[in-house]
Amino acid sequence: MKNNNKHNGFRYGENFLTIGTALKLARNDIKGFLTPETISRVQANRDVVLKIVHKKKVVYGINTGFGPLCTSLISKEDTKKLQYNLLMSHSVGVGNFIDKEIAKLMLILKLHALCKGYSGIAVETVERILWHIDNDVIPLVPEQGSVGASGDLAPLSHLFLPLIGMGKVWYNDEQVPMDVVLKKLDMKPVDLGPKEGLALINGTQFMAAHAILLLEKLQNCLDHADIIAAMNLEAMMGSIKPFDEELHQLRPHSGGIYVASRMRMLLSHSEIVKSHKKCSRVQDPYSLRCIPQVHGASRNAWLHLKETILTEINSVTDNPIIFSEDKTISGGHFHGQPIALPIDYAGLAAAEIGNISDRRIYLSMMESVPGLPKLLMEHTGLNSGFMILQYSTAALVSENKSLCFPASADSIPTSLGQEDHVSMGSIAVRKSLRIVENLEKILGIEMMCAAQGFDFRKPMKSNVLLDDMHDLIREHIPFADTDRIFSEDIENAIKLLQSKKIIKRLNETAKKHHIHLKNEDDEVFGI
C-alpha cells in the first residue's frame, strides 16, 4: 500500500537510509520526497559550479575532459555538450539487463547521494530522477561492463540515458524507448549542464544496489538455515547441549551467541530432545554440534557487509566533490574497494552455509542414524529414496566453491593507465548473488530432508514451533513413501523459503503460544 504522507516518508539527502527503507522505497511501500531545505542545498551547490564555469576556473570534469583526457580544456560553450557526450560514450554495458528492482534501487541511492549537496547537480535533474522513481519508469541497465572503481560508469550511464531522452525504460511493464515515453507524456528531456553528466555516472550505486538485495536474500537464508538445522537435528536426535548459554559466553562471538540462542528457543521443551537425554552417544558430528560456530560466523560476515553498505549508501561517492568555489577536490570516493571486500566475504559466508547444509543432508541419509531409514525411505532398493537429492546439493556446493574466488583480488588498469587500480566490486556482488541463489536451492533440499526425517519421530512431538513449521512444509510438500519426481518438490521448497512464509508463521505461532522470540540482537542482525 502506497504511503503519500510526507511526514511518514523518506527525505532524500537528509534522513539516514537503511537497507529496509531502501527496499520499501523500491517496492512503493513508502514515498520519498525533496524538502525545501534539500532543494536549497542542491541549488546552492549548483550555483558554485556555474560560477566556476563563468570565471573559467579549471576544475576536472567541469571544463576538462575525463580520465586520461583530464588535461584537455573544454570551452564554456562546450561544457554542456561534454555531458551529453559523456553519457553516450560511456553507455557500453553488455549482457542481460539487471532486475528492474535493482535498477530502481540504483536511482534511489543516486538520488540520495546527489541530494547531499556536494555534486553540483541541478534541481531540475534531481526532480526528474524522483519522477522516474515515483512513476516506476525504470531504465534498462545491462549487467556487465563495470570494473567498480571509477564509479560504476557503464551501468550508471545506461541508468541516466533516459534523462536526455535516450535508452530504454520499463513503462507499464513493457520495454519502451524513452523518447517514445516522453512524446506520449508530452515531456521534454532534461537539459544537462556542466558537471551533471559526471555527477550522474560517478559512484558505486550499481554495486550498492545489488548489495542491498544480497543482504536481504542472505539474511532470509540465514534465518531459515537455523530453523531447518534445528528440524534436522531433531530428525537425527542430536544433542541440545552444544547450544548451552554458559558455554557460548566462553567464546562470545556475537553471531555464535545469536544462533545458539535461536537453537535453544527452537528446541526447548521438545519431547524428542527429552527422549534421548541419557543416550550413550557423547557427541554429534560437526554439522550438528557446530551449528552456532558455522552459522554464527556467516552471521558476522553478513553483519560486516550490512554495516559497510549502510555507510556507503549514506555517502557521497562521485567526483569531483564541490565544497565551495575555492575548494573542489578530485578524490577517490568512487572506488569500490571498501564494499568489494565485504561483498566477497559475504559470498564466502553464504557458500559455507550451503557446505554445512549439504553435510547435514548427507548425514541424515546414513544407516547409522538411529530411527531413520537409509536414504530417508523405508523401502529402498526398488526406490532410490532421497539419494539423488544430495547429488544436487553436492553440485551446487561445488559450483559455489568455484564462485568463491574473490573478484576483489583482481585488478586491471583502464583509461590508458589513469585508472590503474580497480575493485571489480561489480563482479563480486553479481557473483555473490549467484552463490546465495544456489544456497536457497540447497536449503530448500535440506528442508525436504529434515521434514522427511521429522516424520519418522512421530508420535513424539518436538517444540511447538518446529512442529508447526513442519506442518507448514507439509502443506506444500507431502511425505514421500515412494520415489517420485522430486524436482517439483524442490521447486516448491525453494519458493516456500523465498516467500518468507516460514518466518512469518514462526512469529505468529510464537505469539499465539506466548513464546518470547525476541532477542536483544534481533535489530543488529535485521535490515
Verify whether residue 60 is a known catalytic residue.
yes
- Provide the pairing of β-strand 32-33 with 10-11: parallel
Q: Residue 264 and residue 243: Cα distance in Å, rounded?
A: 6
Q: Residue 493 and residue 467: Cα distance in Å, rounded?
A: 17
Q: Determine contact, residues 267/240, Cβ cutoff 8 Å.
A: yes
Compute CA 470 distance to the chain's CA centroid, rounded to the nearest angstrom: 28
Q: Is the dihedral of CA 338, 397, 353, 438 positive or negative?
A: positive
Verify whether residue 46 is a known catalytic residue.
no
Q: Determine contact, residues 185/404, Cβ cutoff 8 Å.
A: no
Contacts of 190 (CB under 8 A, 6+ apart): 124, 125, 128, 163, 164
Q: What angle do CA 513, 517, 519 make, to 5 degrees?
A: 160
- Smallest CA-to-CA distance from 430 within 19, 140, 99, 20 is with 99
Options 41, 46, 90, 457, the catalytic residue: 90
Residue 382, amino acid: L
Q: Determine contact, residues 398/438, Cβ cutoff 8 Å.
A: no
Verify whether residue 286 is a known catalytic residue.
yes
Options 66, 118, 206, 334, the catalytic residue: 334
Joined together, the cell numbers standing for residue 51 give 560560477
Q: Determine contact, residues 130/163, Cβ cutoff 8 Å.
A: no
- Smallest CA-to-CA distance from 456 within 360, 517, 398, 376 is with 376
Packing angle between helix 205-235 and helix 464-476, nearest 10 degrees?
110
Options 196, 234, 312, 419, the catalytic residue: 419
Verify whether residue 10 is a known catalytic residue.
no
Q: How many helices (H) and strands (E) does the chain have?
A: 20, 9
- Provide the pairing of β-strand 168-171 with 138-139: antiparallel
Contacts of 509 (CB under 8 A, 6+ apart): 464, 465, 468, 515
Options 286, 323, 405, 479, the catalytic residue: 286
Joined together, the cell numbers standing for residue 243 give 547450544
Q: Residue 266 and residue 519: Cα distance in Å, rounded?
A: 13
Q: Determine contact, residues 415/89, Cβ cutoff 8 Å.
A: no
Q: Residue 436 and residue 346: Cα distance in Å, rounded?
A: 9
Q: Residue 144 and residue 136: Cα distance in Å, rounded?
A: 23
Q: Is the dihedral of CA 118, 122, 123, 125 positive or negative?
A: negative
Options 45, 63, 202, 463, the catalytic residue: 202
What is residue 294's three-state secondary structure? helix
Residue 519, amino acid: N
Q: Residue 428 and residue 154: Cα distance in Å, rounded?
A: 16
Kindly report whether the peptide bond that precedes residue 36 is cis, defined as omega within 30 degrees of 0: no
Options 12, 60, 160, 454, the catalytic residue: 60
Verify whether residue 299 is a known catalytic residue.
no
Contacts of 330 (CB under 8 A, 6+ apart): 60, 61, 319, 320
Q: Which residues are catalytic?
A: 60, 90, 202, 286, 289, 334, 419
